Amino acid sequence: MNYQKPILLLFASIALSVACKKDNSADAQPIDTSQPSGNKTSWWKPAAGVSFDWQLDDINSATNFSADVVDVDAFTTTAETVAALHAKGKKVIAYLSVGTIENDRDDASLIPAELIGKQYPEWPKEKWLDIRQIDKLKPWLNSRLNMILKKGFDGIEPDNMDSYDNDPGFNIQLADTKKYADYLINLAHSNGLSIGQKNVKELTADYASKFDWALTEDAFAQGWQAQVSGYIQLNKPVFAVEYTDKMSQSNFQTNVCPSAKQLKYTAILKKRDLSQWVDRCN
């Protein structure tokens, strides 16, 4: 057999692979951990009743939403897509975790090992963080905020603020969550970004006046929907998301929608994977 051709092809393949890696690294944006300027005094403040959708599937500039406010992934959504959504009259919220680290994000290396706790059982790619150590988290948080600002988002959805109510591997209390929330709110607002309360109903009494809106999951299915009504009293939206693995469309329309309308919440039904599919109150 003639091995010369396969060997030559092997070397050509390696050379091409190296060239591609160089090209990809040249195109990659460096992670910016510098402290954002923090000199803003105004930000987007939505009013109760505004329409809402939430999609964490990859989207692009051709993706259409019927809602006025859309919540999308901070990492996979490009600046061009955010600009295209703005051109369609949408406000765009960036979804990102602030209480866990996902092993498939390119900024995972910014977290010191001693801040990484137990695995989040429902989401195997994620591990809880020690949110008590805010100073050590700042480079990581800065990198995420700088990315969001560069892409032109209007607001932030800070996920996984409920480590105190889970088993994160650290002795985190509700008071620690409140301290972390204060830091995140100031970080967002001082950089011209809206920020919402994600679940964590225990924060409502003290934080409805601080956050700009609330986003709930399974609140109606679990029976705690009334515990975030403080936002409506301040004319701030409550985006109430229910899931098809907990209730049917008929149950959503017959039971959730009348109650949501009475509470003045914006309620939608989604699949748990937060794909494009959505059902709204008739």
Neighbouring residues of 38: CB distance < 8 A, sequence distance ≥ 6: 187, 190, 191
pTM (predicted TM-score): 0.89
Q: Within a domain: residue 20?
A: no
The enclosing domain of 125 has a CATH number of 3.20.20.70
Residue 90 CB coordination number (10 Å)? 20
68's tokens? 């006025």
pLDDT-derived band at 29, boundaries 50, 70, 90: low
Q: Within a domain: residue 37?
A: no
Q: Within a domain: residue 72?
A: yes
Model pLDDT for residues 101-141, shown as the tens digit of each residue: 999 998 999 999 999 999 999 999 999 999 999 999 999 99
Residue type, 37: S
Is 215:191 a contact under the CB 8 Å cutoff? no
- From the list 79, 233, 91, the residue with the least C-alpha distance to 154 is 91
Based on the number of CB atoms within 10 Å of its own CB, is 280 exposed (0-12), middle (13-18) or buried (19 or more)?
middle
How many structural domains are present in the chain?
1
- In whole angstroms, what is the distance from residue 14 CA to residue 197 CA? 49
Model pLDDT for residues 165-212, shown as the tens digit of each residue: 999 999 999 999 999 999 999 999 999 999 999 999 999 999 999 999
Q: Which residue has the higher pLDDT, 21 or 88?
A: 88
Q: Within a domain: residue 147?
A: yes
Model pLDDT for residues 221-231, shown as the tens digit of each residue: 999 999 999 99
Is 98:118 a contact under the CB 8 Å cutoff? no
Q: Within a domain: residue 19?
A: no
Residue with tokens 């092997």: 10
Q: Within a domain: residue 178?
A: yes
Residue-averaged pLDDT of the chain = 91
Report, in this order, helix, strand and coil percent for the chain, each rounded to 5: 40, 20, 40
Domain residues for the domain of 65 are: 49-280
